[in-house]
Amino acid sequence: MSINDEILKRRTFAIISHPDAGKTTLTEKFLLFAGAIQSAGAVKSNKIKKSTVSDFMEIERQRGISVASAVMSFEYRGLNINLLDTPGHKDFAEDTYRTLTAVDSVILVVDSVKGVEEQTEKLMKVCRMRKTPVIIFINKLDREGACPFDLVDELEKKLDIKVQPLSWPISRGSSFKGVYSFHQNNLHIFHPNRGADDDEIVAITDISRHALDEHVGGEFAAQLREDVELLKGVYGSFDNEKYLAGDLAPAFFGSALNNFGVKETLDAFIEMAPPPGAREAATRRVEPGEKSFSGFVFKIHANLDLRHRDRIAFFRVCSGKFERNAFYKHVRLNTNLRFTNPASFLGQKKDVIEEAYPGDVIGLYDRGHFKIGDTLTDGENLSFQGIPSFSPEVFRELINTSMKAKQLEKGIKQLTDEGVAQVFHLAIGHRKVVGTVGQLQFDVISYRLEHEYGAKCSFEPLNFYKACWITSNNAAQFKDFCDYKANHIGRDKDDNIVFFAESEWMLHHYMEQFPDVNFHFTSEFK
């Protein structure tokens, strides 16, 4: 089979949402329908002790939230699916942003009760910026949520994208009867706590016929007919090209917890979603069908298996064919590396693979060679764009509270490499500063340092507003600034100079006072 044939067989996508919208539940139901797992875990049920497949860290199981992206590869209807489940909590947004660089499309989960929430808007802005195709799954129709028309209007206004429903709910909450699918011209009948299967899907090509009344009741049938007439008048036929361009988002309604509407969404996704596409590098555009191999690391995670203390670099293949035991150029280090046990993932479970193609997300066992954004190629010097570190906004001084300084140093370096946090060294006092985008990250850092490295620590608050990377072509002015703000100058893990601003007002003041000093808010300034 040719590389192009392999590319057409692949779909690589992320599921994103605000916390508690049902993202991880939807992920597991996709795996369930694909036969990748036999039973789904429950994220927050105290009665069910099984944890979700994608939440593999102990702290995730305890808190019932995702704090790191998980990779799941499986087959469905003859296609190879690479699904990335992302954290919904805003404090772990950086992990989600980096994950979005490795996918070709997205499924956005929206809670029908709460509607569009703050984190949903932020994630969608990233998708819109990259023109990533998005399918929307409106979840929890079995609860008393907002009017579907109001939900669609809210989605369009807050997410800045045209939304077209391809299914439509018949009532909601306690009287929820199911959905009518424009996409398949059939009726999906809802049964609480049972879910939908093929026996509960009724082919109704003409909703004016009495068969609809028999299944949902006359009052609900009349309302559906009225809604469908209005929807067809407003939206017309679905334009898949606009979806692929990132300008139109098809929407489906359902209940992930009840397996309802899940299979329809998954089936529609594999029909509509694009195969692996091109990626922008610093020097050129890399097409997936190229013969030469290339790809990049978008995530690093240590201790997936605490028994083996492994460190895995998650790698997106962009072009050509990856082969086990072949030598590839590590562009940043200018050295050749060979991988004897590359793996595919289903959450924490790993399987060794012999080869991988564009779109595949694989795990490479790492002995400390990789950083996020690193590139492997057949020999070409490529650097893929759009995988920066962001300027932190919450700062704490790291204090060692145990006698295990070496373990603490090793652990904090590992978490820095993973992108969980950024660590800086202040020039005066040699103090370690940990910077994050949210407070919850410090809880994760403390937990992982103690349980994975046996090192306890505490964090002392620092009164910094933002960390900025600084550069200048004016050596004299740059030195004057660094001397003037010596107590607020440090270095990052790559020895780049960083300035810690006290406040937004002071930052703007320094920008005006030192016009030849450049203040950068992401690490992509070189």
Q: What is the CATH number of the domain that holds 140?
A: 3.40.50.300
Which helix (H) or strand (E) segment holds residue 240: the answer is helix 240-244
Residues 191 and 54 grouped into a single domain: yes
Q: Are residues 400 and 406 in contact, defined by beta-carbon separation less than 8 angstroms?
A: no
Residues 337 and 400 grouped into a single domain: no
pLDDT reported for residue 342: 94
Tell the residue number behind the tokens 């949520």, with chain if given: 145
Q: Round to whole Å and give the CA distance between 386 and 102.
A: 10
Q: In this structure, what is the dihedral angle of CA atoms 15, 19, 21, 23, given to the nearest 10 degrees? A: 30
Q: 320 to each of 20, 323, 364, how far by Cα in Å?
A: 38, 10, 17
Q: Round to whole Å and give the CA distance between 134 and 160.
A: 12
Angle between helices 23-34 and 262-272 (to 10 degrees): 80
- Total number of domains in the chain: 3
pLDDT reported for residue 443: 84
Would you give per-residue pLDDT tens digits along the chain (526 residues)?
A: 789 999 999 999 999 888 888 888 898 888 888 887 765 553 333 333 344 444 444 544 444 444 345 788 889 999 999 998 776 445 455 677 778 889 999 999 999 999 998 878 888 888 888 899 999 999 999 999 889 999 999 999 999 999 999 999 999 998 998 888 887 878 888 877 654 454 466 767 678 878 788 888 889 989 999 998 899 888 888 999 999 999 999 999 999 988 888 888 999 999 999 999 999 998 999 999 999 999 999 888 876 555 556 788 999 999 999 999 999 999 999 999 999 999 988 755 678 999 999 999 999 998 888 888 899 999 999 998 766 667 788 899 999 888 788 888 888 887 777 777 789 999 888 789 998 877 777 888 888 888 888 888 898 999 999 999 999 999 999 999 999 999 999 998 889 999 999 999 999 999 999 999 999 987 766 5
Residue 343 dihedral angles phi and psi, to the nearest 5°: -135, 150
Select from 343, 377, 411 the last residue of a domain: 377
User: What does the block give as tokens for 196?
Assistant: 């939908």
| Domain interval for residue 317 | 279-377
Residues 419 and 372 grouped into a single domain: no
Domain assignment of residue 82, yes or no: no
**Residue from 68, 69, 93, 64 nearest 83 by CA:** 69
pLDDT reported for residue 196: 45
Domain assignment of residue 200, yes or no: yes
381-407 b/e (C-beta count within 10 Å ≥ 16 → b) = ebbbebbbbbbbebbbebebeeebeeb
* Dihedral sign (CA 94, 97, 98, 99): positive
Residues 8 and 147 grouped into a single domain: yes
Domain assignment of residue 335, yes or no: yes
**Which residue intervals of 440-526 are DSSP H helices?**
440-453, 475-484, 504-513
Which helix (H) or strand (E) segment holds residue 322: the answer is strand 322-323
Residues 288 and 257 grouped into a single domain: no
Domain assignment of residue 385, yes or no: no
Q: What is the CATH number of the domain that holds 449?
A: 3.30.70.3280
Q: Considering only the C-alpha atoms of the chain, give the largest distance between any 2 of them, rounded to a whole number of Å.
A: 84
Angle between helices 118-130 and 93-100 (to 10 degrees): 30
Q: Are residues 425 and 431 in contact, defined by beta-carbon separation less than 8 angstroms?
A: yes
Q: Round to whole Å and give the CA distance between 327 and 12.
A: 25
Query: Which residues, including other chains, have CB under 8 Å from residue 512's CB and lie 6 or more apart?
Result: none
pLDDT reported for residue 96: 74
Q: Are residues 32 and 39 in contact, defined by beta-carbon separation less than 8 angstroms?
A: yes
Residues 311 and 410 grouped into a single domain: no
Domain assignment of residue 86, yes or no: no
User: What does the block give as tokens for 121?
Assistant: 């808007």
* Dihedral sign (CA 418, 420, 426, 432): negative
**Residue from 20, 33, 13 nearest 259 by CA:** 33
